[in-house]
Amino acid sequence: MKIKISLLVLVAGYIVYFFGAWLKISHQSHAETLFIIGTVLKAGGLLLLVVSLLTHPRIKAFLREK
């Protein structure tokens, strides 16, 4: 999996979360749902980013060095 995909998921999570915050401030419905979706996307993007970084060959070699 490429790092670009995990960054896109992370950015999408922030966009959805901020849109949910805007809806919450303006007292619109379904703001809590967007907060939950944004949080899940941010956590998933961060998890994908960590996994893709730890499985990258250059970082594996860097972690093996003394």
Question: What pLDDT sits at residue 26?
Answer: 95
> What is the rounded average pLDDT for all residues in the chain?
90
In the chain, pLDDT over 70 holds for what percent of residues? 97
* Cβ contact 42:13 at 8 Å: yes
Cα gap 21→36, rounded to integer Å: 11
- Over 90: is that where the pLDDT of 65 sits? no
Question: What pLDDT sits at residue 66?
Answer: 66
Q: How confident is the model at residue 58 (pLDDT cuts 50, 70, 90)?
A: confident
* Cβ contact 39:17 at 8 Å: yes
Cα gap 60→47, rounded to integer Å: 17
